[in-house]
Chains A and B, each alone.
Chain A
Amino acid sequence: MSITRRNFLQRMGAAGIVSLGAAPPRFLRQAAYAAAIEGKASNGRILVMIQLAGGNDGLNTVIPYGDPEYRRARPGIGIGEGSVLRIDDYLGLHPQMEGLKQLYDDGVLGIVQGVGYPNPDRSHFRSMDIWQSARPESERTEVGWLGRCLDLNVERHAGTVPAIALGTDQVPLSLVSSKFNVPTLRDISDYELRLGPGSQADRQARRGLMSQLATGESVPGSNLDYLRRTQAGALAMSDRLKAVAAIYRPTTDYPQNELARRLKSVVQLIAGELGTRIFFLSLGGFDTHAQQAAAHRALLTEFSSAVAAFHRDLKGHGLQDRVLLVSFSEFGRRVQENGSLGTDHGAASQMFVVSPTGKGGLFGAHPSLTDLSQGDLKYHTDFRSVYATILDNWLGVTSQTVLGGKFPTIDFV
């Protein structure tokens, strides 16, 4: 048994067992048994993925201000040497990203540059599907890369809530699994079950019946089967989250924005030892075709300030060594700004990581601004290398199985 597996089972012991509906009781018993014999220490590793939806303009995020080509391509929306947060003589962060700059200076923020994939697709949906399925060659993408990761370890995850999407309307493709219904939470209070009026006895009777009525014989894989499993999982989650919400207190001030609110919920769920290993969050609005400056500034402020507060709170709870945070976007944007002070869909861009092992810094060179492919930056690092690093070096899952190929890992964790 690998270290990671043992740790995870230990964490499950601490988390208590949450029923996932139709998960076979045999797994539950095994997992509980394994957790019991392996002790109670809790140091399970956690992954937080943040999607910057719409295609983040990477060039105005990590800015090659020292490059004359940058100034030439961005006469209207370029950000100059005077205002960037300098990383070196060539690169600087967007002026609103003070929070992330601090993490960079502290040596925990990694910037993986020039990330992309072969034959980049400029459709939001197709490209997002490619990133989330990690299968650029496949037309039909029904299971996500993290979903496959869960599917490979059914026994390990049975009886837990292995992954949660926060603040998304739908389960993001990354987390779509053929075995688990990954829950989406808008807010922890979303999981408060209401039973309406009635005497205490009547309410209790109905609550019990609801669980019973959510079970029964149904064709595996059918809609009814899916609905029953989801309903049973929802009722169990509701019970568990009620308990978790009572324990957590933040150790820092969070900025007033949506992403911060959600990241705060993530700390709450981690601190409550829910046993969840993967969290997925999304920040939308990066599709800046026109009048980009103000919108992009607001988005990067939200992203940077929220991630910084999240890291402070993790530290306050002594959890920073257990959490790897990674951001991605479906594509960067075209080098040349368009005629409406915005940018159109592009290709390669950067990914941010907040390293739990203090391995920050720049990874890979900034792509050339002159050697372009149809006006877009060329990638030199396949995004699946970042995924392989997450899988092999952090989640303890063999990346080759999940990604269907071997990709070199990067030293950010």
Chain B
Amino acid sequence: MTRGAHGNDPLRPYDSGTMGWTRREATHLLWRTQFGASKADIDNALAAGLERAVERLVTSQPESQSFQRSDHLLRQVAEDTGNILDLKAWWINRMLHSANPLVERMSLFWHSHFATSDVKVRSVRHMAAQNDLIRGEALGSFSALLSGMARDVAMLIWLDGNANRKRHANENFAREVMELFALDVGHYSERDISEAARAFTGWHVRNDRFWFNRRQHDFGQKTVLGRTGDLDGEDVIALCLAQPACPRFLARKLLHAFVTIVPREEDVGALASSIRRHDFHMAPVLRQLLLSQLFFSPSARHALIKSPTDFVLGAYRSTKSSENLRQTARVLARLGQDLFAPPTVKGWEGGRLWISSSSLLQRTNFVADLVADHVVPINSEPKRPERLVQYYIDLLLSGRADETASDRLVQYVEEGARKPGARTRGLLHLIMTMPEYQLM
């Protein structure tokens, strides 16, 4: 690669030596790769340095004994009760406590991408199995994930696989593969859909398992995306992956999730090339992205609106609150991110769509409830009002509050004869309901 090309490459490495690796960069990295960041998390990442912090995220870390126990127990409870709320609780526990937070983050990313809802599937077992499939490839191979999804029981139920028969091809799955899973609108024709649907005929569910129903499979000749032959579902998937639109589609979605909702075309192109070069393996792609100049560029800082999981789990982490997992699942649903029940096959679109005056008020009320139960670690916080306010502005807003706002907060802390605990609770309530706190 020539020097000039390297200089223009948006994915060239961020030089933390000259550009800085401070609490702000560490906070930026952690908020986007796990669910919130405690003071200790930030201290650890800072000490490790950028490269090691990223390496820990993209490689598998051993889970603690206690996590393994709680994970196993919660999963068992969900499968025994058959109540989807318990499965939500199981997942939330993983998001909060797994030593591999980026795996959970990417699992949530793929859950939204392959949006399947228990509202129709109605089975904890199948939803859990799909979640396992996703988690197994969360940082792995997208092509394996796509193939797995085409045979996934929950997905087949969700998109009416059993209705896709030789003489009555059902287009639901084929359409979503092209429109939502691999290519996006505009990169296929209606004819491609109806022909691809024939290729997936007979991909059914029997006895709660994937079953290739030969008698209902159409072995005839089909033409999909310019290729003609006796194509089956696996061929259609391979044809989709080979389209230039596929890595671009994924690149755009990854940029939305990790960098900015308005990526530049050259950034999409660069990340798409990386995806193609790494043959759709996500860990090396994410490593490159998280270490890049683009990821730390000024336009990426505080550019994302927190999703409900970011907001709620992040608030727990920042305040070191203990959480009620089932209650948390209900709160997330109220805020618009009901796990295992995305609103449509398009998943959660996110960005500004998370925010309406109604959802914002719900977020505000969540903070009021959280802070009410909050036991303040009084010993570790500064006493002087200016210092106290700055301490929490640094921790919760990554230092981002204008002077007027911090003056107002200092004034609040100084006025009124409140006990230290009540004073801190009031301050947390005010900071965490500031519009700035919605950004990360």
Distance to closest chain B CB from A334 (angstroms): 10
Question: Roughly how many angstroms separate A192 CA and B422 CA in the complex, as a whole number?
Answer: 23
Could you tell me if A213 and B408 are in contact, using CB atoms closer than 8 angstroms? yes
B365 adjacent to chain A (CB < 8 Å):
yes
Chain B: interface residue total (CB-CB under 8 A) = 60
Interface size class of A (residues with CB under 8 A): 35 or more
Question: Which of A123, A181, A182, A227 is within 8 Å of B179, CB to CB?
Answer: A123
A210 adjacent to chain B (CB < 8 Å):
yes
- Which A residues are CB-close (under 8 A) to B415? 205
Question: Roughly how many angstroms separate A123 CA and B174 CA in the complex, as a whole number?
Answer: 12
- Which A residues are CB-close (under 8 A) to B170? 289-290, 338-340, 344
Answer whether A210 and B362 are a contact pair too, CB < 8 Å, given A198-B426, A339-B163: no
Could you tell me if B359 and A339 are in contact, using CB atoms closer than 8 angstroms? no
Question: Which of A123, A185, A212, A237 is within 8 Å of B408, CB to CB?
Answer: A212
Question: Which of B160, B345, B436 is within 8 Å of A290, CB to CB?
Answer: B160
Answer whether A202 and B418 are a contact pair too, CB < 8 Å, given A122-B190, A196-B425: yes
Could you tell me if A169 and B368 are in contact, using CB atoms closer than 8 angstroms? no
Mark interface residues in B422-439 (1 if CB within 8 Å of A CB, else 0): 100110011001111011
B69 adjacent to chain A (CB < 8 Å):
no
Could you tell me if B405 and A216 are in contact, using CB atoms closer than 8 angstroms? yes
Question: Roughly how many angstroms separate A139 CA and B425 CA in the complex, as a whole number?
Answer: 48
Mark interface residues in A216-247 (1 if CB within 8 Å of B CB, else 0): 11000001101110110111011000000000
Question: Roughly how many angstroms separate A298 CA and B369 CA in the complex, as a whole number?
Answer: 38
Residue from the set B160, B175, B372 with the largest chain A CB neighbour count within 10 Å: B160
Q: Which residues of B in the span 349-405 have a Cβ within 8 Å of any Cβ on A?
A: 349, 352-353, 355-362, 364-365, 368-369, 371-372, 402, 404-405
Mark interface residues in B254-288 (1 if CB within 8 Å of A CB, else 0): 00000000000000000000000000000000000
Q: Which residues of B in the span 69-90 have a Cβ within 8 Å of any Cβ on A?
A: none
A41 adjacent to chain B (CB < 8 Å):
no
A170 adjacent to chain B (CB < 8 Å):
yes
Task: Kindly report which residue of chain A lies nearest to residue B166, judged by CB atoms.
Answer: A339
Task: Kindly report which residue of chain B lies nearest to residue A161, judged by CB atoms.
Answer: B357
Residue from the set A213, A339, A344 with the largest chain B CB neighbour count within 10 Å: A213
- Which B residues are CB-close (under 8 A) to A212? 408
Question: Roughly how many angstroms separate A195 CA and B422 CA in the complex, as a whole number?
Answer: 13
Question: Roughly how many angstroms separate A170 CA and B179 CA in the complex, as a whole number?
Answer: 21
Question: Which of A170, A201, A209 is within 8 Å of B356, CB to CB?
Answer: A170
- Which A residues are CB-close (under 8 A) to B434? 213-214
Could you tell me if A223 and B305 are in contact, using CB atoms closer than 8 angstroms? yes
Could you tell me if B365 and A193 are in contact, using CB atoms closer than 8 angstroms? yes
Could you tell me if A171 and B356 are in contact, using CB atoms closer than 8 angstroms? yes
Question: Roughly how many angstroms separate A199 CA and B5 CA in the complex, as a whole number?
Answer: 62
Question: Which of A139, A197, A202, A235 is within 8 Å of B416, CB to CB?
Answer: A202
- Which B residues are CB-close (under 8 A) to A196? 368-369, 371-372, 425, 429
- Which B residues are CB-close (under 8 A) to A126? 185
A186 adjacent to chain B (CB < 8 Å):
yes
Mark interface residues in B405-425 (1 if CB within 8 Å of A CB, else 0): 100110010011010001001
Distance to closest chain A CB from B196 (angstroms): 14
Could you tell me if A230 and B179 are in contact, using CB atoms closer than 8 angstroms? no
Name B's interface SS: helix
Answer whether A210 and B172 are a contact pair too, CB < 8 Å, given A171-B353, A226-B352: no
Question: Which of B165, B168, B355 is within 8 Å of A230, CB to CB?
Answer: B355
Could you tell me if B336 and A169 are in contact, using CB atoms closer than 8 angstroms? yes
Task: Kindly report which residue of chain B lies nearest to residue A165, judged by CB atoms.
Answer: B356
A206 adjacent to chain B (CB < 8 Å):
yes
Q: Which residues of B in the span 171-220 have a Cβ within 8 Å of any Cβ on A?
A: 171-172, 175, 179, 185-186, 190
- Which B residues are CB-close (under 8 A) to A338? 163, 168, 170
Could you tell me if A194 and B438 are in contact, using CB atoms closer than 8 angstroms? no
Q: Which residues of A in the span 222-274 have a Cβ within 8 Å of any Cβ on B?
A: 223-224, 226-228, 230-231, 233-235, 237-238
B346 adjacent to chain A (CB < 8 Å):
yes
Task: Kindly report which residue of chain A lies nearest to residue B416, judged by CB atoms.
Answer: A202
Answer whether A223 and B303 are a contact pair too, CB < 8 Å, given A195-B368, A198-B422: yes
Task: Kindly report which residue of chain B lies nearest to residue A224, judged by CB atoms.
Answer: B435
Answer whether A339 and B360 are a contact pair too, CB < 8 Å, given A196-B371, A227-B355: no
Answer whether A181 and B357 are a contact pair too, CB < 8 Å, given A194-B369, A210-B430: yes
Question: Which of B168, B362, B425 is within 8 Å of A340, CB to CB?
Answer: B168
Answer whether A209 and B430 are a contact pair too, CB < 8 Å, given A194-B369, A234-B357: yes
- Which B residues are CB-close (under 8 A) to A165? 356
B3 adjacent to chain A (CB < 8 Å):
no
Answer whether A184 and B356 are a contact pair too, CB < 8 Å, given A193-B365, A214-B435: yes
- Which B residues are CB-close (under 8 A) to A290? 160, 162-163, 170
Question: Roughly how many angstroms separate A160 CA and B25 CA in the complex, as a whole number?
Answer: 41
A317 adjacent to chain B (CB < 8 Å):
no
Distance to closest chain A CB from B295 (angstroms): 18
- Which A residues are CB-close (under 8 A) to B165? 339-340
Question: Roughly how many angstroms separate A212 CA and B372 CA in the complex, as a whole number?
Answer: 22
A147 adjacent to chain B (CB < 8 Å):
no
A371 adjacent to chain B (CB < 8 Å):
no
- Which A residues are CB-close (under 8 A) to B344? 124-125
Question: Roughly how many angstroms separate A206 CA and B426 CA in the complex, as a whole number?
Answer: 7
Question: Roughly how many angstroms separate A192 CA and B358 CA in the complex, as a whole number?
Answer: 10
Could you tell me if B364 and A123 are in contact, using CB atoms closer than 8 angstroms? no
Question: Roughly how many angstroms separate A197 CA and B372 CA in the complex, as a whole number?
Answer: 6
B343 adjacent to chain A (CB < 8 Å):
yes
Could you tell me if A227 and B435 are in contact, using CB atoms closer than 8 angstroms? yes
Distance to closest chain A CB from B317 (angstroms): 20
Could you tell me if A181 and B356 are in contact, using CB atoms closer than 8 angstroms? yes
Could you tell me if A216 and B404 are in contact, using CB atoms closer than 8 angstroms? yes
Could you tell me if A183 and B356 are in contact, using CB atoms closer than 8 angstroms? yes
Could you tell me if B429 and A206 are in contact, using CB atoms closer than 8 angstroms? yes
Question: Roughly how many angstroms separate A184 CA and B355 CA in the complex, as a whole number?
Answer: 9
Could you tell me if B172 and A289 are in contact, using CB atoms closer than 8 angstroms? yes
Could you tell me if A190 and B361 are in contact, using CB atoms closer than 8 angstroms? yes
A144 adjacent to chain B (CB < 8 Å):
no
Distance to closest chain A CB from B128 (angstroms): 24
- Which A residues are CB-close (under 8 A) to B358? 183-186, 190-191, 234
Question: Roughly how many angstroms separate A170 CA and B430 CA in the complex, as a whole number?
Answer: 26
Could you tell me if B439 and A226 are in contact, using CB atoms closer than 8 angstroms? no
- Which A residues are CB-close (under 8 A) to B426? 198, 202, 206
Task: Kindly report which residue of chain A lies nearest to residue B350, judged by CB atoms.
Answer: A170
Q: What are 18 of the A-B contact pairs (CB < 8 Å)?
A: A124-B344, A170-B356, A171-B356, A182-B356, A190-B358, A195-B429, A196-B368, A198-B425, A202-B418, A205-B412, A206-B426, A213-B434, A214-B435, A223-B305, A226-B352, A227-B355, A289-B163, A290-B163
4 nearest A-B residue pairs (beta carbon):
A339-B168, A234-B357, A340-B163, A227-B435
Extra contacts besides A194-B364, A227-B355 (17): CB < 8 Å: A169-B343, A184-B357, A184-B358, A192-B365, A193-B361, A194-B368, A196-B429, A197-B372, A209-B409, A224-B302, A224-B439, A227-B436, A234-B361, A290-B160, A290-B162, A340-B160, A340-B163
Q: Contact residues of A with B, CB < 8 Å?
A: 122-126, 139, 165, 169-171, 181-186, 190-198, 201-202, 205-206, 209-210, 212-214, 216-217, 223-224, 226-228, 230-231, 233-235, 237-238, 289-290, 338-340, 342, 344-345
